[in-house]
Amino acid sequence: MLRLFIDSFTVYIWKTIDMSQELQHTQLIRQFAKNLGFTHCGIAAAKRLDADAKRLEQWLNKGYHGSMQYMENHFELRIDPTKLVPGAKSVITLLLNYFPEETQIPAAPKVARYAFGKDYHEVIRKKLKVLLNLINENIGEVNGRGFVDSAPVLERTWAKLSGLGWVGKNGNLINKQQGSYFFIATLITDLSLQYDDPFIRDYCGTCTRCIEACPTDAILPGKVVDGSKCISYFTIELKDALIPESQKGKFDNWMFGCDTCQEVCPWNRFAIANNEKDLIPIPEILEFTEKNWEELTEEKFKIIFKESPLKRAKYGGIKRNLSFLKLSLEENTSREVR
């Protein structure tokens, strides 16, 4: 009996030590993340996302991904973090505020706010690399991989599971304190940590402002976004030489991406300007008029926007988008005259 008591007490002591270590490691990682400029850090236990697997499959089957064929690839990797990092135990989700204080000049072809500064992929990848190095140096050798946007990770689900917010009707993660102008990064590791409670509440309520404001009716009931109708899809992802004529007059002067659903979201009244030096707006983004964009040469484009997200659409894509906006405006003017 005494031996059984001693064994039980020993197990209890070791568990307490483990929990204490997990807490210390968790606090250390949160501090590292804060020092690197991440606004929020949430942590969830790594697990297979069965419910998301079903939703993703239905979304793909309905063709909501349009010509983005890469969305069909690596299905298992998207829903199971252990396929990306063998032995994964924790999924660390990090938010980086990108809301700019500055705005473009009135009437200029509009660029989504996330693209005002440097390419966020490069900015965040550097931070994730530093974070993983800090973990290895201060906690111990761990196996981990960092991801941002372009990798097969369901980052909004992990953000919700780690208590950082809820997914709004426009498909964006919404944080109750600061809205939705965030980049989401993910670090998957085989390190055991203390986990946050998932965010269960949905504070969108009966609000449908984003659905009603969407210029192309891409936001559907049930928190579903038809990606093949989104302005961001047409102006960035679509590689066709022409944008479908059915979309004429619907772009509300958006040349690259679209912020409409975020601009009307009541929660973004809490958005605050970021202080990330790499996200300082490129001057031309703020100052270019329609004429400046139209007169922009390919050589100048490559120089000015070499570190910008705009390079994803390439020079030809930007010119196509501008032509489409101009044709739409001319057609609308013609209708008004009649």
Q: Which residues are catalytic?
A: 149
Q: What is the 3-state secondary structure (H, E, C) of the chain?
A: CHHHHHHHHHHHHHHHHHHHHHHHHHHHHHHHHHHCCCCEEEEEECCCCHHHHHHHHHHHHCCCCCCCHHHHCCHHHHHCHHHHCCCCCEEEEEEEECCCCCCCCCCCCEECHHHCCCCHHHHHHHHHHHHHHHHHHHCCCCCEEEECCCCCCCHHHHHHHCCCCEECCCCCEEECCCECCEEEEEEEECCCCCCCCCCCCCCCCCCCHHHHHCCCCCEECCCEECHHHCHHHHHHHCCCCCCCHHHCCCCCCEEECCCHHHHCCHHHHHCCCCCCHHHCCCHHHHHCCHHHHHHCCHHHHHHHCCCCHHHHCHHHHHHHHHHHHHHHHHHHHHHHHC
Q: At what angle do helices 2-35 and 120-138 cross, to 10 degrees?
A: 140
Parallel, antiparallel, or unpaired for β 110-111 and 254-256?
parallel
